[in-house]
Chains A and B, each alone.
Chain A
Amino acid sequence: MRPAQGIGFIYLSLLAALLLTVIPVPFQFSLYRPDWVLLVLMYWALALPRRVNIGTAFFMGLLTDVLVGTVLGVNALAFSVVAFVVAVNHLKIRNFSVIQQSLLMGLMLALYQLLLFWLSHFLTGVNFRAAYLWPVLTGMMVWPWLFWLLRRYRRQLKIQ
């Protein structure tokens, strides 16, 4: 096992994703906001599953809960489950082309939204609206660009 290197930069990228999650956008676009933190987490779980997996996902989920005001633990659980699925299958997913990956990530994002809605429905009685699924689509569109960007980031800074 290679020694850890540049772990701080991973957290820096996650912090940027957290900021993107709460940064204000015009009211009309707020439903289309991709789940930045989860996308960045999925990239790291794919690239460095030994460094970033369920522990980090849980912690970031908790921070997201506090930031966006959902019931504490809801995002933490959903992030952990998605990170688990990605980390277990990282060797398979890495072999796909970017387009296939993007479709697969759409599936993961849908799983996340489903878990989030389901838990919130039990805890606070939220009603379902189809508009809640927009982030899945925008997340899929963002994935190829994010993947390219984060791969450059990782290679430039030699994060292992």
Chain B
Amino acid sequence: MNDFFNRGPALGLRLVLAIACSVGLMFVDRYTESSTQVRSFLTSAVSPLFYAASLPESLISGASEQLMSQQQLLSENHQLKARLLNQEAQLQLLTFLQQENDKLRALLGSAPVVQGQRLIAEVLAVYSHPFAHQVVLNKGTNDGITVHQPIIDEKGVVGQVVSVGPTSSRALLISDNTHAISVRAERTGVRTVAEGLGQSDRLRVIHLPLSTDIREGDRLLTSGLDGRFPEGYPVAEVTQVIKEASQPFMTVYAKPYASLDRIRHVLILWPGSQVEAVRQAEEEN
């Protein structure tokens, strides 16, 4: 027994060392700014594991696509074409409206809303701990992704990029405990903040005085005031408003439009101002 742990320090000392290191790491990760760089580096180090883990699923889905019958493919193609036509028609109207809007904004002397660039990314089917609402995307710095870029899907805002590796990146969802997003009610224009609760189907809208006009069914859009999310994207629908006279604020819950627990494809956005900055930098060079 005496020579049992005779290489290196004793077990108790090792435990103390390990605990000290972990506490240091937690502190650095939670309370300092350098953590995004550390995390980005570590994410790039483990990204082969992500790809290896998602391999079986991508193989199966690839095989099922191969085995799809021609009949099915044709009918799907038909449906998609019909949908595209429909949306093209709507888009024509939108272009007209946008031009009109730009003109009106010019008349008012306010800056026009710049349409940013976007990129489609796939969510790698890997697990995240229930404590952390995050997803891994298959795009990274090689595709020009940077930290803090907003992510949306076809229904609404999904989250933002928090760490980037060369071929993969990690995004924080709006339902995470540590996430909050600045929103505006579409009907009344009330500006407020929606924070995550760690549940994929519920957000909490905070700091609303009792006299605020907000109802169940109100649409909450991004307000653009946080400087991260561009203005006007749908975030959530108000599902529950609880008014208690003894409380200074109302308790308001909202349901995100994006189905956060089963996202497969997302759009990564480059906010207009960033695109402008890049363009300016290119002109200067």
Q: Tell me the A residues contacting B by CB distance below 8 Å.
A: 1, 18-19, 21-25, 27, 30-31, 33, 49-50, 53-55, 57-58, 61-63, 66-74, 76-77, 80-81, 84, 87-88, 116-117, 119-120, 123-127, 131-132
Contact = CB atoms under 8 A, between A and B. Distances in A.
A73 B25 contact: yes
A41 B21 CA distance: 19
A121 to B, nearest CB: 9
A17 to B, nearest CB: 12
B28 A87 contact: no
A87 B125 CA distance: 35
A71 B14 contact: no
Given A53-B14, A73-B25, A68 B129 contact: yes
A12 to B, nearest CB: 14
Nearest to B46: A66
B132 interface: yes
A73 B23 contact: yes
Contact of A80 (B18, B53, B127): B18
B92 interface: no
Contact of A73 (B29, B46, B132): B29
B11 to A, nearest CB: 6
B42 A66 contact: yes
B54 A66 contact: no
A48 to B, nearest CB: 12
A120 B38 CA distance: 19
Contacts, number: 137
A70 B126 contact: no
Closest 4 CB pairs of A and B: A73-B25, A77-B22, A24-B125, A80-B18
Q: Chain A's interface: helix, strand, loop or mixed, by majority?
A: helix
A16 to B, nearest CB: 11
A122 B39 CA distance: 20
A63 B50 CA distance: 12
Contact of B14 (A54, A62, A74, A126): A54
B239 interface: no
A132 B197 contact: no
A21 B52 CA distance: 12
13 contacts: A19-B49, A21-B127, A22-B49, A22-B126, A23-B54, A54-B15, A72-B38, A74-B26, A77-B23, A84-B12, A84-B14, A131-B130, A132-B130
B11 A54 contact: yes
B113 interface: no
Contacts of A80: 15, 18-19, 22
Contacts of A27: 261-262
A62 B39 CA distance: 11
Contacts of A55: 14, 18
B177 A124 contact: yes
Given A24-B57, A27-B261, A55-B14, A68 B22 contact: no
B166 interface: no
B224 interface: no
Residue from the set A31, A50, A53, A72 with the largest chain B CB neighbour count within 10 Å: A72
A71 B53 contact: no
Contacts of B198: 126-127
Contacts of A22: 49-50, 53, 126-127
Contact of B49 (A50, A57, A67, A116): A67
Interface string B214-253: 0000000000000000000000000000000000000000
Contact of B18 (A24, A31, A58, A132): A58
A19 B53 contact: yes
Contacts of A61: 22
